[in-house]
Amino acid sequence: MAAAKVPGVLGSFEHIDSAVEAIHGLKRSGHDDLTVYSAAPNHELEEALGTGSSWVRAFTLIGALTGCTAGYAMTTWMSYDWPLLVGGKPTAAFPPYTVIMFELAILLGSLSTVTGMILLPQLKKIRGRAFHPRFSDDRIGIFVPCPSDRAEGIKRLLMGAGAVEVSHEA
């Protein structure tokens, strides 16, 4: 197992139902600060952990609205700053500018979504928690941060749920 900075117990699971059982058991015994690793997102794990929905959507909305507004403001201001007057037609014309507004809404909406995807996971400090390369392959990992005196109890709980490998990361 990789060296860990945060003390705790790391369990490795082959079966999804074992991992779900372990999460329920840990929650019942008061361990809410878990880190669960998996190679792909899984609804059963999400339900067991009770994770809420992500605030990435706020980044998407704000980015898209900013892009749309910027598209309108930029085209209109620039049209008046350098007027191209043709046959009495409006200096700033809304219909053709919707193309620019739309493109900038998509562009800034996408870039701010990615910003949200990068920033939001940083809110939960998981740096230094143990990880094993098999978690990106075919195993599910559960890391439970805890002091050394509680490690034995957690190891027993994880083994009882069906963990194939459990280690104490001090």
Task: Based on the shown chain and the rule CB under 8 A, indicate whether residue 106 belongs to the binding site for another protein.
Answer: yes
Query: Does 72 participate in binding another protein (rule CB under 8 A)?
Result: no
Options 3-11, 24-32, 37-45, 150-158: segment touching another protein (CB under 8 A): 37-45
Is residue 28 classed exposed, middle or buried when 0-12, 13-18 and 19+ CB atoms within 10 A define those classes? exposed
Report the alpha-carbon distance of residue 67 to residue 69 in Å, rounded: 6
Sole binder of another protein in the list 30, 87, 137, 149 (CB under 8 A): 137
Q: Which residue among 118, 148, 160, 170 contacts another protein (CB under 8 A)?
A: 118
1 binds another protein (CB under 8 A): no
Is 93 an interacting residue with respect to another protein (CB under 8 A)? yes
Cα(2)–Cα(81) distance, rounded to whole angstroms?
61
C-beta of 149: minimal distance to another protein in Å?
26
| 138 is a site residue for another protein (CB under 8 A) | yes
Question: What minimum distance in Å lies between the beta carbon of 142 and another protein?
Answer: 10
Place of tokens 């309108």: 72
Is residue 27 a contact residue for another protein (CB under 8 A)?
Answer: no
Kindly state whether residue 32 participates in binding another protein, applying the rule CB under 8 A: no
User: How many other C-beta atoms can be found within 10 angstroms of the C-beta atom of residue 55?
Assistant: 12
With binding defined as CB under 8 A, does residue 12 bind another protein? Answer: no
- What's the rounded Cα separation, in Å, for the pair 38 and 35? 10
- DSSP E strand boundaries for the chain: 8-13, 35-37, 140-145, 165-169
Contact 149, 8 (CB under 8 A): no
Burial class (CB within 10 angstroms; exposed 0-12, middle 13-18, buried 19+) of 133: exposed
Member of 24, 103, 148, 160 binding another protein (CB under 8 A):
103
Of 39 and 170, the one with the shorter C-beta distance to another protein is: 39
Q: Among 30, 32, 41, 85, indicate the residue that binds another protein (CB under 8 A).
A: 41
